[in-house]
Amino acid sequence: MPDQPMATCLWFASGAEDAGEFYCGLFPDSEILRVDRAPDDYPGGLAGTVLTISFMILGRPFMAMNGQPEGDFTDAVSFQVFTEAQEETDRYWDALTADGGSEMACSWCKDRFGVRWQIAPKVLMDGLGHEDPDTRSRVFNAMMGMVKIDHAGIEAALAGEDA
């Protein structure tokens, strides 16, 4: 990964390898690149313990590391994934909110590791950036009433129907 100009590092109390495997299994153009294990016992763990895992998600470089428990994730950082169709939105949403994940508002969710995601349909993003202020307003108001984004509801707002 050093040939990349930048990578995102995610700090987990534990479970970095599980997270990397989960993300790589969920998103296309994703793969585990390397798993680094402790060569010897150390004050926080044993030889063979996963220290870091390097991987690609949607063609972007990430590293996850197992560190101290005070490194919790917050709403201050999230990852946006742009989707084409409701089926894609549903697949990502369902996987990310399963097994201890949770739904948030307006396309946001939290996965079981505590990482925040925005599963944002391209139709939503196009509508929020529409040149017509009335259209932007309808799309915004439709989104504000949603948790997981409903493509049909956003398309209706784009077409001039109020939510």
3 pLDDT higher than 80? no
44 pLDDT higher than 90? no
Task: Report the predicted TM-score, pTM, of the whole model to 2 decimal places.
Answer: 0.91
Residue range 103-131, pLDDT digits in tens: 999 999 999 999 999 999 999 999 999 99
CA 107 to chain centre: 11
By CB atoms closer than 10 A (0-12, 13-18, 19+), residue 91 is middle
68 pLDDT higher than 90? no
Percentage with pLDDT > 90 across the chain: 86
Output the pLDDT for position 162.
60
Query: Which domains does the chain carry?
Result: 1-72 (3.10.180.10), 75-163 (3.10.180.10)
Enter the tokens of residue 109.
Answer: 């969710």
Nearest to 26 by CA among 96, 117, 108, 89: 96
CA–CA separation, 50 and 36 (whole Å) = 6
Q: What is the mean pLDDT of the chain?
A: 94
Return the bridge partners of 81, or none. Answer: 119
